[in-house]
């Protein structure tokens, strides 16, 4: 059963655009995870909404985003513009840090598909301000080598065992990460985790990873807000 006490759809100004997001906070959130959706997806993604609902059950808040405006999403190339997606994600994270309801919370990023590259690029920029990163069927290989080496937040890569090409790309990116890291391969799963029980395994793995880090963070990660 979900324990969300705050549920808001917000228009978030970022650089040269305004993007839409849905912020859901349990009564006593131990952290907030921003979802960076993949190519052709949005805050309405049923898979990411399911994962978010599982996170709510362990007192983790979520911000699901449309990183692109509807007009921008019509241009296919924008879905693979990692610099643009990262800029939008950084803008949303800055907005979240300034929100009174979420200012003191630890922050995580959950990236799917191309959103995973943007998540890692943003985590590299923000350093200790990001406590954790999770990638679902992501393309972390699209992040720069500099970013992969610079990420400090503990990072979990989740990939379907049958998604062989993406799995290989994740292995390559995983080898470059210098932070605490884990590669979780879901048996019998393809790219979209449509097989019975596989999305549930994704959500469980993400919830366990994020809850552990939010409750017992590495010494170098600090909650945001206050006078710091």
How many structural domains does the chain have? 1
Q: What pLDDT is stored for residue 49 in this prediction? A: 93
**Is-contact 112 132, C-beta < 8 A?**
no
**Is the distance from CB of 128 to CB of 222 less than 8 angstroms?**
yes
Residue 226 domain flag: no
Report how far residue 173's alpha carbon sits from residue 97's, in angstroms, rounded to the nearest whole number. 28
Gap between the Cα atoms of 9 and 11, Å rounded: 7
Residue 220 lies in a domain: no
Say what the pTM is: 0.91
In this prediction, residue 42 carries a pLDDT of 65
- Per-residue model confidence (pLDDT) at position 225: 41
Query: Can you give the CATH number for the domain in which 105 is found?
Result: 3.40.50.1820
Q: Is residue 154 part of a domain?
A: yes
Answer yes or no: is 136 within a domain. yes
pLDDT of 200 reads: 98
Per the domain annotation, does 225 fall within a domain? no
Establish if 71 belongs to a structural domain: yes
Query: For 11-45, b where at least 16 C-beta lie within 10 A, e where not — what string?
Result: ebebeebebbbbbbbbeebbbbbbbbbbbebbbeb
- Taking CA atoms, 35 is separated from 5, 156, 161, in Å, by 19, 14, 23
> Considering the domain boundaries, does residue 109 fall inside one?
yes
Q: Which of 208, 216, 225 has the alpha carbon at shortest distance from 51?
A: 208
Asked if residue 227 is part of any domain, the answer here is no
pLDDT tens profile 175-207: 999 999 999 999 999 999 999 999 999 999 999
Q: What pLDDT does residue 1 have?
A: 44
Which pLDDT does position 16 carry in this prediction? 85
User: Residue 158 belongs to what domain range?
Assistant: 4-215
Low-confidence ranges of the chain (pLDDT < 70): 1-4, 38-42, 104, 219-228
3-state secondary structure of 216: coil
Amino acid 223: pLDDT? 43
Q: How far apart are CA 107 and CA 87, in angstroms?
A: 17
């Amino acid at each position: 059963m979900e324990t969300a006490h705050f549920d808001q759809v917000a228009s978030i100004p970022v650089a040269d655009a305004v993007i839409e997001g849905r912020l859901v906070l349990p009564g006593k959130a131990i952290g907030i995870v921003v979802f960076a959706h993949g190519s052709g997806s949005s805050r309405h993604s049923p898979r990411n909404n399911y994962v978010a609902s599982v996170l709510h059950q362990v007192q983790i808040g979520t911000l699901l985003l449309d990183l692109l405006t509807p007009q921008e999403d019509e241009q296919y190339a924008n879905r693979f513009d990692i610099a643009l997606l990262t800029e939008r994600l950084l803008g949303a994270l800055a907005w979240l840090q300034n929100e009174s309801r979420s200012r003191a919370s630890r922050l995580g990023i959950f990236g799917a598909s191309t959103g995973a590259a943007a998540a890692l690029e943003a985590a590299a920029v923000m350093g200790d301000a990001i406590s954790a990163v999770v990638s679902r069927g992501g393309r972390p290989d699209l992040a720069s080598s500099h970013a992969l080496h610079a990420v400090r937040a503990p990072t979990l890569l989740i990939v379907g065992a049958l998604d062989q090409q993406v799995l290989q790309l994740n292995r390559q990116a995983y080898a470059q990460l210098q932070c605490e890291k884990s590669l979780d391969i879901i048996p019998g799963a393809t790219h979209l985790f449509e097989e019975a029980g596989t999305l549930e395994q994704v959500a469980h793995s993400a919830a366990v990873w994020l809850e552990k880090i939010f409750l017992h963070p590495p010494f170098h990660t600090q909650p945001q807000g206050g006078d710091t």
